[in-house]
């Protein structure tokens, strides 16, 4: 499921980082400020607004999914979930996220295999 509260939190965090008002954010994402306030209050925003605000935060949509990988998911699916979060991290350069992903995959394969 998509976690609207996490999106609202990310918008607020990014807005504060940039020193913007909610009105300035609304202008940048081409949405009525009331719709952004509604999103923060748990409202049901227009999908276009959701997608534009996700893009504005600089995070990927994966950052707002609240369903963890199922325990019976295969290794590739679990690794892809972790990789998505790494790619969504604004503090990591793409090549850094890829390097961390490689290390995690190698460690997972090593220890998952030895546990059997």
Determine the average pLDDT of the residues in 15-29: 95
CB 107 within 8 A of CB 85: no
What's the pLDDT tens digit per position in 64-86?
886 655 555 566 666 666 776 67
Determine the average pLDDT of the residues in 37-59: 87
Determine the average pLDDT of the residues in 44-72: 79
Residues in the chain: 116
The count of other CB atoms within 10 Å of the CB of residue 46 is 13
């Amino acid at each position: 499921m998509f976690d609207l509260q996490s999106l609202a939190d990310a918008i607020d965090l990014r807005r504060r980082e940039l020193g913007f008002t909610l009105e300035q954010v609304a202008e940048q994402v081409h949405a009525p400020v009331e719709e952004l306030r509604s999103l923060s209050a748990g409202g049901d925003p227009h999908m276009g607004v959701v997608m534009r605000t996700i893009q504005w935060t600089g995070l990927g949509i994966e950052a707002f999914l609240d369903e963890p990988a199922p325990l019976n998911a295969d290794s590739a699916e679990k690794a892809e979930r972790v990789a998505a979060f790494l790619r969504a991290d604004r503090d990591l350069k793409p090549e850094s996220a890829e390097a961390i992903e490689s290390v995690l995959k190698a460690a997972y394969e090593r220890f998952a295999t030895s546990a059997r």
